[in-house]
């Protein structure tokens, strides 16, 4: 050790000792790495703005999303008070788009939450209990994995009619499979750790160990996967809406707006272009955040 030797009793020595002891946690490290990733920070900023717009934007506009104005039919952008123009019924595109963004984001968050709950519970139990239980539970996942899921969602929508709650459930129920696989893999690794053994030795029940020791330690990979699931869910919903099976008019989602815009694109390009840009922008934000989080949390790829 170079430099002046400090007497242990001196004030400066004590300060240095404290500074040396105060380490950075893994999460602080991860946050620092995330904040250095410009694409991820940009993604988070834009996404926060979009969420805010979707929440309060509709209240600030002079038009309601389902308000029909006969005089403004096919109004181009920046005319008759419509920033982004109006559609075949004279409905304000900006108002509809903000509403559509709200619906799409809501579906993205809620359905992902559904898949998160099912996936984490399923994967953690399978991984922790192991043995025959694990075998059966993962076989179920394998079987569901090889189903043409889109057919089942379409059949579901056709069978029970397209209401928004069902869209949440249907998409969430098929998105949990990958989550459960990731969680199971992590759980298998965590199970070998000393602190789990300690918990078991202390007499905790398996349920308590899963809830208090396994699940909190799964957070990293799960958070990353969640940020990548949300855009996938938004895409699935838009896809259903595009086929006419998702959100029903006059309600709008980004998918229904794009579908409508595609039909009228030769007459009114703005009806296709603006919702498409919003959709692409939203998806990009999530993907940038997801990639940034993965680089930040998973030190393997650094």
Partner 1 sequence: MLRFIGRRLFVALPTLFLVVTVAFFMMRAAPGSPFDIDRKLSPEIERNVLARYGMDRPLGQQYLSYVGDVLHGDFGPSLKYKDKTVLQILQENYKVSLILGLSAISIAAGIGVTLGVLAALRQNGWVDYGVMGVAIIGVCIPTFVIAPLLVLLFGSILQWLPNGGWNGGAIGNLILPVTVLALPQVAIISRLTRAGMIEVLQSNYVRTARAKGLPARTIVMKHALRAAILPLVSYLGPACAGLLTGSLVVEKIFNLPGLGKFFVISALQRDYTVVMGMVIFYATLILFLNLVADLIYALLDPRVRLS
Which spans of this chain sit near partner 1 (rule: CB under 8 A)?
139, 142-143, 146-152, 154-156, 158-161, 231, 235, 238-239, 242-245, 255, 258-259, 261-262, 265-266, 269, 272-273, 276, 279-280, 283-284, 287-288
Cβ distance to partner 1 smaller for residue 244 or 249? 244
- Cβ neighbours of 301 (radius 10 Å): 6
- Give the nearer residue to partner 1 in terms of CB position, either 143 or 202: 143
Q: How far is the CB of 160 from partner 1 (least distance, A)?
A: 8
| Cβ 269 to partner 1 shortest distance, Å | 7
Nearer to partner 1, 94 or 259 (CB): 259
Q: How far is the CB of 6 from partner 1 (least distance, A)?
A: 43
Closest approach of Cβ 47 to partner 1, in Å? 13
- Cβ distance to partner 1 smaller for residue 199 or 279: 279
Q: Rank residues 56 and 280 by Cβ distance to partner 1 and give the closer one.
A: 280
* Residue 62 beta carbon to partner 1: minimum distance, rounded to whole angstroms: 29
Residue 92 near residue 71, CB atoms below 8 Å: no
**Which of 109, 107, 104, 79 lies closest to 93 in space, CA to CA?**
79
**Residue 118 or 154 with smaller CB distance to partner 1:** 154
Q: What are 79's strand-pairing partners? A: 82
What's the min distance (Å) between Cβ of 147 and partner 1? 6
> Which of these, 180, 191, 186, 91, lies nearest to 141 by C-alpha position?
180
The least CB distance from residue 301 to partner 1, in Å, is 8
Of 18 and 146, CB closest to partner 1 = 146
- Cβ 173 to partner 1, closest distance in Å? 13
Q: Which is nearer to partner 1, 96 or 213 (CB)?
A: 96
- Closest by alpha carbon to 242, among 177, 174, 150? 150
Residue whose tokens read 């900006």: 94
């Amino acid at each position: 050790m170079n430099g002046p030797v400090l007497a242990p009793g001196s004030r400066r020595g004590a300060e240095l000792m404290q500074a040396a002891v105060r380490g950075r946690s893994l999460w602080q490290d991860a946050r620092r790495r995330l904040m250095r990733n410009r694409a991820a920070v940009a993604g988070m900023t834009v996404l926060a703005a979009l969420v805010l717009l979707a929440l309060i934007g509709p209240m600030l506009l002079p038009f309601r999303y389902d308000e029909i104005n006969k005089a403004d039919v096919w109004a181009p952008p920046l005319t008759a008070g419509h920033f982004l123009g109006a559609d075949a019924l004279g409905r304000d595109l900006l108002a509809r788009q903000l509403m559509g963004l709200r619906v799409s984001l809501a579906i993205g968050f809620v359905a992902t939450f559904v898949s998160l709950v099912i996936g984490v519970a399923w994967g953690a139990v399978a991984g922790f209990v192991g043995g025959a239980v694990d075998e059966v539970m993962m076989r179920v996942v394998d079987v569901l994995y090889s189903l043409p899921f889109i057919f089942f969602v379409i059949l579901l929508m056709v069978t029970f009619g397209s209401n928004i709650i069902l869209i949440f459930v249907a998409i969430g129920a098929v998105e949990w499979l990958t989550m459960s696989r990731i969680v199971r893999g992590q759980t298998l690794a965590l199970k070998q750790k000393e602190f789990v053994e300690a918990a078991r030795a202390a007499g905790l029940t398996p349920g308590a160990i899963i809830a208090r020791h396994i699940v909190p330690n799964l957070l990293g990979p799960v958070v990353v996967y969640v940020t990548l699931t949300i855009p996938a869910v938004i895409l699935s919903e838009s896809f259903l809406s595009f086929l006419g099976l998702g959100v029903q008019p006059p309600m709008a989602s980004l998918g229904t707006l794009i579908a409508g815009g595609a039909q009228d694109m030769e007459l009114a390009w703005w009806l296709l272009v603006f919702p498409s840009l919003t959709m692409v922008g939203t998806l990009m934000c999530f993907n940038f955040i997801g990639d940034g989080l993965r680089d930040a949390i998973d030190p393997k790829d650094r």
